[in-house]
Structures are given as C-alpha cells and as structure tokens.
C-alpha cells in the first residue's frame, strides 16, 4: 500500500501561512478533475475563475512542483491543495498513469537531471584558487584581530557601560568587509543580549576571533570548525565528490524558521535532522528558501531514506549535504528511536562541547520523559533528573500539545539539548506515531 504524507508534513512545505489557508480550501475533490498518482508523482487539474483549469503536478521524491497558475509563490496553493487531497482523501487520487502534460514535465525534469549529472566539471585553476584563499585568509585574520581589540576595549571600560562598546553594527559591517560573515552575525547579537550574558558571549567571541588568527596552528578538525564558524563555506559539489556515508537515514524531525544563514532575514531556513540506522550518526541538512518560496528540501518525519551523505569537515561533523538517493523515503520503524536518559544527554552534550566550544546545542533523543509545567517554566523529567525547556525555542501552544500527547505518561522526545536547555522538535507518544512540535 502506498504511504501518503501527513497533513502536517504537507503544510510544512508552504511558503507562508496564507498559502496554508488557501490550500485548505482546495483540499476537497470538488475543484479537481482527473487527479492521479503513480507513487512517484501526483497530478490533477484544478478549476478556477478562468475557463482553463490549472494543471498541477508534484514530483514527490524531491519534492518539485509545476503549476500553470500565475502565482509567484512556490509551491503554490494548487500544489499544496493537491497534496492535501492526496494525503487526506486517498480514494480521490487513484493510482493511474500520468496524464500526457504531467508526463511531459516529469520526463523533461529527468532529462535535465541526467544532463547535469553527465556534464563535465569546469577545470579548476589551483594557483588562482590558492591566491584567492590567501587573500581571504589575510582579510579574515585582520578583521579578527580588530574584533579582539574592540572586545578588549569593552572589557576595560566595563560591561555596564554599553555606550563605549558600540555601535556593534559598525563592527559587524567591518567583519563583512573582512569576509567573515560568521563573526559579523555573532557581533550583531551583542546589542540584544541581556546584561548577564554579555561576559559569556564576549569570551566566546574573543576565543573564536583568536582561533581565526591561528588557523595554521590548530588541529585539522578544530581548524575546520573555526573556519565554518567564521563564515567559510564548502562547495557542495566538492563535498559530494567524497568521501560519503551511505546509510538508511531516519528523519527525526524538522524545523523551519524565517532566517537564513548569517542572519539574512530575506531567507527561510529549514533544518532536517537524520540518524543513520547502521552507523548511528546524527546528521543535519539545511535548505533555504527565498521570499515567497519554501526551502527546496523536505523529508517526512518518521520516514527513512537510503542515501549518501557528505559531511562538512569539523571537529565533530554534523552538517551534511544530501547526495545520491536510493529510492524515495519510506516509513521508518514502528517503534520510537532509541534515546538517552537526561543524565546521559547532559554528558553527551559535554563531550560534544569539548570538541566544539562554540556549540550551542546537540541533537538528542530523550526517552521516557514527561513534560511538566513548573513555576520556573516547562521541564522534561525522567523521574531521576530534569532538564529545562529552552525559553522561546518552540511556541507555548506546542508545549501544551506535547503535554496533551503525553497525558502524563513517559514518551520519547527528539530535540536539541544545550547549555540553555532542551528545544523539543518531535514526540513519539504511546501509539508510536511521530508528532511534530514546531508547527501547531
């Protein structure tokens, strides 16, 4: 029997709340004619205000969308409505061969993918690349040295007097000029930090700036971590050239936030956390969407995908790029994933921080915990130890939903654990069906 997506997963693909609402009105059979699916794609024609119905097709593996409507949002309400119909009313979208217009788009998409895969890569110029790297390294080192002096000035004048430290936006702009966007993003955060956290962030930022001036002296893994934190990027094609890790990756959860890397508010960022069934390795995939467009990667929580991942170099590799897929995502194990006690989770984060001092959180599965609301906020307890839920990590409504699905009984919760607490993402209640907590 074909596994269809949950309503929650379909709605997570929407570029905004307005698209979700509009799609709900198109999730019934009435506006659709000749909808169908072959397991790899879904298609149908949606009647609108004009004479000609809009032709909509969705390729499910990526997913990818095509619609003849003039909407500038991506996916449009018609693609979302068709997916909601396919998800919630399977009998209304029967198995069939693709319509001619849908088959033409699907075939053209496959041919483009094959041409891209077969196209030879442009020859690289090692000498030019080395010169560019040296120039950027000098700029970053100079910017990091200036940042260290500005932080030291702030300490000498005293953190209580913020007038002598700023404006930090000016310093952030200088870090951008120094080609260190990671430093710039952290500098911008200083103005909004509460007084009690300033010294901590000054120290961590000073440590990062110092490390950026001594990259050649650091161990390989730590140097890679520092480069990433500073804002160096790795070409995805180069990363996927190898080595890669092939496994059956369980999708533990996802979170979409209206903020891109480096604090770019024009982008939407989607984070997807995976765990390898054979290796047990955690992995984080990032996808980005421009205004009016949802991020281009989405995998259903609780499903598993046989694929190759290429991990970004780091002292503790986590972020990865998705390479070759071997089939579409399929339902994962019926039971919740194996997890840790609260004490084990705390110890695991401590080990991770020993490798990466700037690590704010680490993906963690807690087992046998109960959500509890206390006078000091929400907590997760396993009966022996308690961990606070990170303030503002998830909406209050999501935490009440977590309490509702728990009904006072222990459950498995996936999220990120760090020094500010635990940020829940997915819960597995008694019926073992994963429930996303980041959208309600």
- Per-residue pLDDT, 260: 47
Whether residue 421 is predicted with pLDDT greater than 80 in this model: the reply is yes
- Per-residue pLDDT, 106: 94
Whether residue 257 is predicted with pLDDT greater than 90 in this model: the reply is no
C-alpha span between 438 and 301 (Å, rounded): 12
pTM: 0.83
- In b/e form, how buried is each residue of 206-218, taking b as 16+ CB within 10 angstroms? bebbebbbebeeb
pLDDT classification of 253: cutoffs 50, 70, 90: very high
| DSSP per-residue codes, 342-355 | HHHHHHHHHHHHHH
* 65 touches 76 (CB < 8 A): yes
- Per-residue pLDDT, 297: 85
**C-alpha count within 13 angstroms, C-beta hemisphere, residue 120:** 3
C-alpha span between 381 and 364 (Å, rounded): 15
Tens of pLDDT along 344-374?
999 999 999 999 999 999 999 999 999 999 9
pLDDT classification of 46: cutoffs 50, 70, 90: very high
377-381 and 41-46 strand pairing: unpaired
Tens of pLDDT along 194-245?
888 899 999 999 999 999 999 999 999 999 999 999 999 988 888 998 899 9
* 413 touches 365 (CB < 8 A): yes
pLDDT classification of 180: cutoffs 50, 70, 90: very high
* 245 touches 306 (CB < 8 A): no
- Per-residue pLDDT, 13: 87
Structure tokens that stand for 17 in this block: 């709340």
Average the pLDDT over 421-432 and give the result: 89
Whether residue 171 is predicted with pLDDT greater than 70 in this model: the reply is yes
Whether residue 405 is predicted with pLDDT greater than 60 in this model: the reply is yes
Task: Report CA torsion sign: 299, 286, 126, 119.
Answer: positive
Lowest mean pLDDT among 161-165, 225-229, 270-274: 161-165
Lowest mean pLDDT among 36-40, 352-356, 369-373, 409-413: 36-40
253: left (phi over 0), alpha (psi -120 to 50) or beta: left
* 183 touches 143 (CB < 8 A): yes
What stretch of H or E contains 279? none
- Per-residue pLDDT, 440: 40
Lowest mean pLDDT among 70-74, 259-263, 293-297, 419-423: 259-263
Q: Which residue in 209, 78, 83, 107 sits closest to 148, CA to CA?
A: 209
Scanning the structure block, which residue is given the tokens 């979208």?
Answer: 93
The fraction of the chain above a pLDDT of 70, given in percent, is: 94
pLDDT classification of 259: cutoffs 50, 70, 90: low
Tens of pLDDT along 289-322?
877 777 878 888 999 999 999 999 999 999 999 9
- Per-residue pLDDT, 1: 43
Tens of pLDDT along 18-35?
899 999 999 999 999 999
Q: Which stretches of 183-291 are assigned E, i.e. beta strand?
A: 245-257, 268-276, 282-289
C-alpha span between 127 and 429 (Å, rounded): 57
Greater confidence (157 vs 347) lies with 347
Q: How many CB atoms sit inside 10 A of residue 259's CB?
A: 13
Compute the mean pLDDT over every residue in the chain, rounded to the nearest whole number: 89
């Amino acid at each position: 029997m074909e596994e269809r997506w949950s309503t929650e997963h379909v709605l997570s693909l929407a570029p905004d709340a307005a698209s979700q609402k509009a799609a709900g009105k198109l999730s019934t059979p009435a506006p659709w004619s000749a909808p169908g699916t072959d397991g790899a794609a879904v298609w149908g024609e949606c009647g609108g205000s004009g004479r000609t119905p809009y032709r909509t097709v969705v390729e499910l593996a990526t997913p990818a969308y095509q619609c003849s409507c003039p909407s500038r949002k991506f996916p449009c309400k018609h693609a979302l409505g068709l997916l909601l119909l396919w998800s919630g009313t399977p009998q209304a979208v029967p198995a069939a061969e693709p319509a001619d217009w849908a088959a033409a788009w699907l075939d053209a998409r496959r041919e483009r993918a094959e041409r891209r895969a077969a196209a030879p890569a442009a020859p690289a110029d090692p000498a030019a690349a080395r010169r560019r790297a040296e120039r950027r390294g000098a700029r970053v080192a100079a910017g990091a040295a200036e940042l260290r002096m500005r932080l030291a000035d702030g300490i000498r004048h005293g953190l209580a007097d913020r007038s002598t430290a700023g404006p930090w936006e000016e310093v952030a702009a200088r870090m951008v000029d120094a080609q260190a966007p990671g430093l710039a993003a952290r500098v911008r955060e200083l103005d909004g930090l509460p007084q009690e956290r300033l010294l901590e962030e000054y120290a961590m930022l000073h440590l990062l700036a110092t490390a950026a001036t001594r990259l050649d002296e650091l161990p390989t893994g730590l140097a890679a971590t520092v480069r990433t934190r500073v804002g160096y990027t790795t070409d995805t094609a180069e990363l996927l050239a190898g080595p890669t890790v092939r496994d059956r990756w369980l999708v533990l959860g996802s979170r979409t936030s209206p903020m891109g890397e480096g604090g770019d508010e024009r982008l939407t960022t989607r984070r997807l956390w995976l765990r390898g069934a054979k290796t047990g390795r955690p992995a984080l995939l990032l996808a980005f969407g421009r205004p009016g467009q949802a991020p281009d990667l989405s995998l259903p929580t609780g499903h598993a995908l046989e694929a190759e991942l290429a991990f970004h170099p780091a002292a503790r590799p986590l972020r990865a790029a998705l390479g070759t897929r071997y089939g579409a995502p399929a339902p994962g194990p019926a039971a919740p994933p194996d997890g840790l006690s609260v004490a084990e989770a705390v110890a695991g984060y401590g080990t991770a921080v020993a490798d990466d001092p700037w690590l704010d959180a680490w993906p963690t599965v807690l087992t046998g915990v109960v959500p509890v609301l206390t006078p000091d906020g929400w907590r997760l307890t396993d009966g022996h130890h308690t961990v606070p839920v990170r303030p503002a990590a998830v909406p209050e409504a999501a935490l009440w939903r977590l309490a509702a699905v728990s009904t006072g009984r222990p459950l498995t919760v996936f999220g990120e654990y760090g020094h500010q607490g635990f940020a829940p993402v997915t819960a597995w209640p008694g019926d073992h069906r994963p429930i996303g907590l980041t959208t309600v």
